[in-house]
Each structure stands twice: as structure tokens, then as C-alpha cells.
């Protein structure tokens, strides 16, 4: 089996209209602590928390528009 060099692979990909691009692997570096904490709550607790977060965000944005934040 032949392993092409990187420049050969890049030329082949360019000929096909594609490119080789490095990107982080999904899930690498993700802190799963908050995900686990959320999943340990009941569905009702998660919905209630999301509603409270939405209300807090709305209040914050309203205060920003009025210039009364901080």
C-alpha cells in the first residue's frame, strides 16, 4: 500500500474541488459537568430553569436598551 505525502493529497483534493482542513474533534475540550448536572434534573426542573433564564435574559436586554445595567 502506498501512503501519499501531504502535498500529493492536497493536490488530489484540489483537483476534485476540495481541500484538507484541520478542525477540532467534536466533544474534545467540552466540559460535561453542566450537561450531567442538567440531565440529573427532572424535565420539569429543566423547563422551569430555561424559562427563568429566558426571563433573566429579557430583563438584561431591556436594561441594556435603557442604559440601566450594572
- Which tens digits make up the pLDDT trace of 6-54? 999 999 999 999 998 988 788 788 888 988 999 999 999 999 999 999 9
**3-class SS letters over 7-62:** HHHHHHHHHCCCCCCCCCCCCCCCCCHHHHHHHCCCHHHHHHHHHHHHHHHHHHHH
d(CA 31, CA 13): 35
pLDDT of residue 69: 64
Counted residue by residue, the chain has a size of 70
pTM of the model: 0.48
Q: So what's the pLDDT on residue 24? A: 79
Can you give the pLDDT at residue 60? 94
pLDDT at site 70: 59
Domain ranges of the chain: 28-70
Amino acid at each position: 500500500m502506498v501512503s501519499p505525502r501531504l502535498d500529493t493529497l492536497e493536490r488530489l483534493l484540489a483537483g476534485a474541488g476540495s481541500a484538507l482542513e484541520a478542525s477540532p474533534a467534536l466533544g474534545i475540550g467540552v466540559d460535561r459537568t453542566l450537561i450531567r448536572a442538567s440531565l440529573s434534573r427532572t424535565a420539569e426542573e429543566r423547563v422551569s430553569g430555561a424559562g427563568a433564564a429566558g426571563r433573566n435574559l429579557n430583563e438584561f436586554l431591556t436594561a441594556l436598551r435603557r442604559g440601566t445595567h450594572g
